[in-house]
Each structure stands twice: as structure tokens, then as C-alpha cells.
Amino acid sequence: MSLLRTFVSYILTTVYLVVFGLLVLLFHPLQVIAHSLFGTKPHKSIVDYLCYLLIRSLLLLGVDYEIAGKIDVPADRPVIILSNHQSMFDIPAIIWVLQKLHPRFVSKKELGKGFPSISYNLRKSQAALIDRKDRAQSIVEIERLGRLIQKEKSAACIFPEGTRSKTGKLRRFNSAGVDAMLKTAPDAVILPFVIDGHAKLQAKGFFPLNCCMKLHYTILPTIDPKGRSTADVISEVRMQMAGVLGQKQ
């Protein structure tokens, strides 16, 4: 990164982070009011709009995005979204781009408290908040979420890499979480979602963020896992993602 671009990134990142902070602080009471007085659906609408603003405000950094593919899932079956994991921006992007599905998340339990807007949404949406050091607890939570989406014919998102890739290169995919969710949501279809650019955006962490770039979000065709092993499905999803990202297997 050139000296001038680095300087510009510091200035623009400062502006963006102020806007980011104001948004999550403002939308926290709005979420509380919407959920407490009007219920789940208005709360989801508030969260959708917050996530849209968090992603669109990246324009302050000269960062834009494009979306490829379309959501094509059966209306009468639950959906398990499998996404690669690159940064903290993954969740708002998934919520906004796939807002039609209103996905819940499998997330580390540390995010369940202490973060304005984010923690409240995870708790009230009945996300699976897992302890990554406690496999038994993690499986129980994921199975609970699986039963919920099976009952509601709704959607959940899981990151099969387990943790984010700081370089953007796909990590090894773990099948245990997906297997647990399919166990209690046997009618679910798999919707792969590919994120390209978040790792570069946060190449130096939160400060500075990289400026003047484009993010790419790709919705891949739905996969029906019935009659197939989870390991086989996971392998296919990873191969498809690698192709979109231009990475060799």
C-alpha cells in the first residue's frame, strides 16, 4: 500500500468507525423497542436495515460490493447456509444479502453479550451461541437450532471453517457442526454463500481498513443433501467456493 493510500485509509477508517459505532448504538434501542412491543418480524426488519447501513456505509472508504447468483430454495424446507469466514463484516453481509431467509447464526458465545445491537440480535434471534472449547455444549446448541429451523422451515448459517481466515484462503472445512444440524433438521437444503474481499478489507485489522476496493458476494445453487454423507456435501461446497475464489484445492 502506497504512503498516500495508507494515509487516506487512516482518515477514512476513522470516519467509518465513528459511523459504525453510531449505527450499532442507535439501532440497539430500536431493536429492543421493536422486539418488546411488536415482536419478531419488526425486529428482523430493524436488523436487516442496520446490516444494510453497515455494509453500504463502507462507501465512505470507497468500498462497494456486487452480488452474483440468486436465492432459489424450496419454500417448504429449512435452509442451512454455509459460508466461508473472513471477517466481522461477514454476518451483516449475509443478513442483508440473504434477508429473504432471515438467517440465524452459529456464533461463538462471546458475541452473545457486551456488543450493542449485535449481542441483542444474536440472543433474541435464538442463535446457537457455542463454546468452542466445549464440543458437547456446541453440539447441543447446534442441534437445538436445527430443531428450530426444521419446525419453522426457516434458515440458519454456519461457518464450516470454524474461525475466520485472515488471508481469505479457505481453511479446512469441519463437518461436525453441519452434521449435527442436519441430524435435527433432516429436511434442510444447503445454500452455499461465498464472500470475497472481507479479508483484504481487514488485512491490518480494524485500523486501518483498506480503502478503494470492491467486495464480491456469490450465492451458489442449492444442494439437496438427502442420501449423501455430510463429508461429501462439505467437500462439494468447499470445491465450489474455491472455484469462485480462484483458489487451487
Residue 103 vs residues 98, 160, 167, 203: alpha-carbon distances, Å? 7, 16, 26, 27
One-letter amino acid at 153 equals K
Taking the C-alpha atoms of residue 122 and residue 117, their distance in angstroms, rounded to an integer, is 9
pLDDT score at 71? 96
Grade residue 65 by pLDDT with cuts at 50, 70 and 90: very high
Per-residue pLDDT reduced to its tens digit, 151-173: 999 999 999 999 999 999 999 99
* Residue 51: alpha-carbon gap to chain centroid: 11
pLDDT over 80 (residue 179): yes
Instruction: Judge contact between 101 and 155, C-beta under 8 A.
Output: yes
Domains of the chain: 3-245 (3.40.1130)
- 158: enclosing H helix or E strand: strand 155-158
Q: What is the pLDDT of residue 111?
A: 92
Q: What is the pLDDT of residues 81-121, one digit of tens each?
A: 999 999 999 999 999 999 999 999 999 999 999 999 999 99
The per-residue pLDDT for 249 is: 66
pLDDT score recorded for residue 105: 97
pTM for the complete prediction?
0.94
Residue 78: cis peptide before it, omega within 30 degrees of 0: no
Q: Which residues are within 8 A (CB) of 136 and not within 5 positions of it... i.e. 6 or more apart?
A: none
Model confidence at 248, in pLDDT bands (50, 70, 90)? confident
For residue 62, report the phi and psi dihedrals to the nearest 5 degrees.
Answer: 75, 25
Q: What is the DSSP string of 70-103?
A: -----TTS-EEEEE---STTHHHHHHHHTGGG--
Distance (Å, whole) CA 40 – CA 50: 15
Q: What is the pLDDT of residue 1?
A: 53
Q: Please, which pLDDT band fits residue 13 given cuts at 50, 70 and 90?
A: very high
On the question of pLDDT at 216 being above 70, the answer is yes
Q: Given a cut of 70, is residue 8 above it in pLDDT?
A: yes
Nearest to 199 by CA among 34, 86, 121: 86
Q: Does residue 199 have a pLDDT over 80? A: yes
Half-sphere exposure (Cβ direction) of 159: Cα atoms closer than 13 Å? 23
The rounded mean pLDDT for the chain is: 95
